A and B are shown apart, each in its own frame.
Chain A
Amino acid sequence: MYQPVTRGAGRTGWSPGFLVKLALVALVDALGVYAVLAAWGARSWGVLTAMVALLLVANWAYFTRRALPLKYILPGLAFLLVYQVYVVAYTGYVAFTNYGDGHNSTKEQAIEALLVQNERRVEGSPSSPLTVVARGEELGFAVVADDGAVRAGTADQPLETVDGARVEGGRVTALPGYDVLEYAAVLERQQEVTALRVPVSDDPADGSVRTQDARTGYVFTSTLTYDAASDTMTDTVEGTTYTPNDEGRFEAADGTTLPVGWRVLVGFDNFVTAFGDDRYAGPFLKILLWTFAFALLSVASTFLLGLFLAIAFNDARLRGRRVYRTLVILPYAIPGFLAALLWSGMLNRSYGVVNEVLLGGASIPWLTDPLLAKLSVLGVNLWLGFPYMFLICTGALQSLPTDVLEAAKIDGAGRWRTWRSITLPLLLVATAPLLISSFAFNFNNFTLIYMLTGGGPRFDDASVPLGHTDILISMVYSVSGLDGTAAKDYGLASALSIVIFVVVATVSALAFRRTRSLEEIA
């Protein structure tokens, strides 16, 4: 029936399965080698290294007779490494930088932005019709002055009057000594054109002509200049010199800094500030407790309801159970953000359907009373989450060995007893890791809190924008300014994410260790 396999001789037969494997690996290798070559061409050394490593491991794994488990794990593992582990690692890296408002990009981009932000149009200077011209490879501008004279120059050659130019429609169309560039050619070199500054005269204080649309020229002066050799910025009006500091900004001797900075590594600074703001000390404890309560209660309530329904519908004698099952997973078929929006409307105190229709015109402050808001969040999360648990329990119930259940019945065990001592432990073995993972998910269930209550109602006694339903992750959102209440600080947010991750991971790993004993029993 099965292809006989010769053992021990280092050869597997040419079974169809082997051919399939061969074809698949060949395909992967082909795509991989293509990607490696492309990475070489694009000079992406990081991608190149990763691809080569993955390819080598893949070929080794599928052609060695050892590494049996790896053959099965590798496909998923490869995706996991590239798309998840990398993300975690990158967030870890950001935690040690000052990435955020004011430190949003690289130093080159910051310098560029500072220079362009500190150019001022010379007051009262005219806007002149401008033509982009070239002298050999060198670009220049030709402008028609107010008095009709044509003046031309390049970056090194200040504007000078040129005679014999042809002017049509107020614009230069031909110029002795220069080539007039066609619009298409201008577009081709548009970065050079927008970067070009043609001095008005030998005196830099007179400013230089620049253009943004290759049609009109304006005279600008720069109040800030950058010297690449000494890596300093100089304010030409005040005469102040700014040098780059360790925090990724240009700083003058008296400590003033220029507004646009860049990203630098700042070591453990973010972790220090994370615990440094004492305005958060009071709310923090309350939020920590609520986060644990929210996560645990969410898991417990969704699991129990899901399990109960799964058991209730798990009886062949129940007519219409297909219909019940299908309708019960409805909440899961609706995108989560819609559900949160929907419920926040339904729970409105005066107009919400819950008060107005279900409770006959009551006016219960579901989302604005601290305690009720917590209950509402749990209730909505139950609605959102029980279909998931229902599905899992329905699936898991199928795996229960029927003989054991039959045996218990014959032994005269009651329904409750059978459930308590056989069904539940067996189910827990299969679902414990999912419950732990669901705990972790709810621990960081930012979307629900953010969409449903926004963390509200606010704490009356705290001086930070946090509320009774805020959980740790939504507190991070607020502390690091991602909610817009302060300057955004991705570095701080990453650092805090890592701290939260450590907490959740520890709790989960401990819980997971406990489930091992469960598994041993089963």
Chain B
Amino acid sequence: MRPTRWFSEVGWRHVVGVLAVVYAGFPLVYVVSASLAEGGTLTGSNELFASVSGANYAALAGTRFWTWMANTLVVAVATGAGTVLMGAAAAYAFSRFRFSGRRAGLTALLVIQMFPQMLAFVAIFLLLVSLGNVVPVLGLDSKLALICVYLGGALGVNTFLMYGFFNTVPREIDEAAKIDGATHAQIYWTIVLRLTAPILAVVGLLSFISTFGEFIIARVLLQSEESWTLAVGLYGWVSSLQEANWGLFTAGAVVSAVPVLALFLFLQKYIVGGLTAGSVKG
């Protein structure tokens, strides 16, 4: 391949890639630098890596950081899995069946998510108080309850993402399977889900990430420190400016980015693996 042609086909992509990585990563270099500094503040110091020490990372062990990490993983994994399962099922119904209220239902799903959430905490708190009086595990300060609240958003934007993708899977495939005598459930579980693996991975990842960083609802519901999620705990370290603990906070933020990146790396092959992942069988 001649250099000019190489550049116009592949080379420019490297240029874009490097620029994008610098843009995306530069602010985070700042965070990493602060996490390695001793007793520094986040702003007011531009000398990156002026001092390097692992003290802040070591200090995490003296906090409940790892408990929060475990809580967050439990909540985010459960929410991600639940969202994929429920969202995909709904998307399948909207994509494959024709029923009255389908259009209206789709629009309603989209619209209900647009309600300003600013005051939601008032209603959610009261809801969980009354649920908790009946079934304590669905009440305040329970991870299961938090997962349920998050799953309330399982249908919505994600359903649309999958719905659009499901529509691109040729209907002839399920028609063929149906003629072979497959039930709708078999078509769904064994054909459609396999063919749509990339989008399922994307939705799972999106849901995992947004749960991972959510703290407005979590800090209302999770009352005891042992059940906090990372975002709630980390926010606590800097919520009061006077008592702000930037060293711990930035170290925690760096560590907490690791699961997200790891999950992305793991799912990447499904996300970009494309249609080859699912073989059409009939």
Q: In the complex, are there CB atoms of A and B closer than 8 Å? A: yes
What number of A-B contacts does a CB cutoff of 8 Å give? 333
Q: Is A521 an interface residue (CB 8 A)?
A: no
Contact check, B107 vs A391: say whether CB atoms are below 8 A apart: no
Q: Which residues of A contact B188 (CB under 8 A)?
A: 72
Residues 56-90 of A contacting B (Cβ, < 8 Å): 68-73, 75-77, 79-80, 82-88, 90
In the complex, which of the residues A90, A308, A401 contacts B123, with contact meaning CB atoms closer than 8 Å?
A: A90
Q: How far is the CB of A88 from chain B (nearest CB, A)?
A: 5
Among the 9-residue stretches A230-238, A239-247, A329-337, the one with 4 or more Cβ atoms under 8 Å from chain B is A329-337
Among the 9-residue stretches A158-166, A392-400, A460-468, the one with 4 or more Cβ atoms under 8 Å from chain B is A392-400
Residues 31-61 of B contacting A (Cβ, < 8 Å): 31, 42-44, 46
Cα separation A477 to B119 with both chains bound (whole Å): 10
Cα separation A72 to B24 with both chains bound (whole Å): 39
Cα separation A166 to B114 with both chains bound (whole Å): 71
- Flag B203-242 by CB within 8 Å of A: 1 or 0 each: 0011001001101100000000000001100110010000
Q: Which residues of A contact B177 (CB under 8 A)?
A: 2
- A38-B134, A490-B122 as given contacts; A444 in contact with B183, CB under 8 Å: no
CB-nearest residue of chain B relative to A345?
Answer: B43
Q: Which residues of A contact B124 (CB under 8 A)?
A: 83, 87
Residues 148-185 of B contacting A (Cβ, < 8 Å): 148-149, 151-157, 159-161, 163-165, 167-168, 177, 180-185
**Dominant secondary structure of chain B at its interface with chain A:** helix
CB-nearest residue of chain A relative to B117?
Answer: A444
Among the 9-residue stretches A131-139, A145-153, A185-193, A504-512, the one with 4 or more Cβ atoms under 8 Å from chain B is A504-512
Q: Which residues of A contact B202 (CB under 8 A)?
A: 391-392, 394-395
- Flag A427-465 by CB within 8 Å of B: 1 or 0 each: 001111110110011011011000000000000000000
Contact check, B209 vs A333: say whether CB atoms are below 8 A apart: yes
- Flag B99-117 by CB within 8 Å of A: 1 or 0 each: 1001001010111111111
- A494-B119, A505-B114 as given contacts; A396 in contact with B24, CB under 8 Å: no
CB-nearest residue of chain A relative to B258?
Answer: A333
Q: Which residues of B contact A85 (CB under 8 A)?
A: 112
Q: How far is the CB of A287 from chain B (nearest CB, A)?
A: 15
In the complex, which of the residues A309, A401, A433 contacts B168, with contact meaning CB atoms closer than 8 Å?
A: A401
Q: Which residues of A contact B235 (CB under 8 A)?
A: 335, 337
Cα separation A388 to B161 with both chains bound (whole Å): 12
Residues 61-91 of B contacting A (Cβ, < 8 Å): 85-87, 89-90
Q: How far is the CB of A64 from chain B (nearest CB, A)?
A: 14
- Please give the number of chain A residues whose Cβ is less than 8 angstroms from any Cβ of chain B in the complex: 116
Q: Is A252 an interface residue (CB 8 A)?
A: no
CB-nearest residue of chain B relative to A447?
Answer: B216
Q: Which residues of B contact A84 (CB under 8 A)?
A: 112-113, 115, 152-153
Q: Which residues of B contact A431 (CB under 8 A)?
A: 161, 164
Contact check, A328 vs B152: say whether CB atoms are below 8 A apart: no
Q: How far is the CB of A395 from chain B (nearest CB, A)?
A: 4
Q: Is A327 an interface residue (CB 8 A)?
A: yes
- A75-B89, A84-B152, A351-B43 as given contacts; A383 in contact with B27, CB under 8 Å: yes
Cα separation A407 to B97 with both chains bound (whole Å): 31
Q: Which residues of A contact B14 (CB under 8 A)?
A: 318, 320
Q: Is A4 an interface residue (CB 8 A)?
A: yes
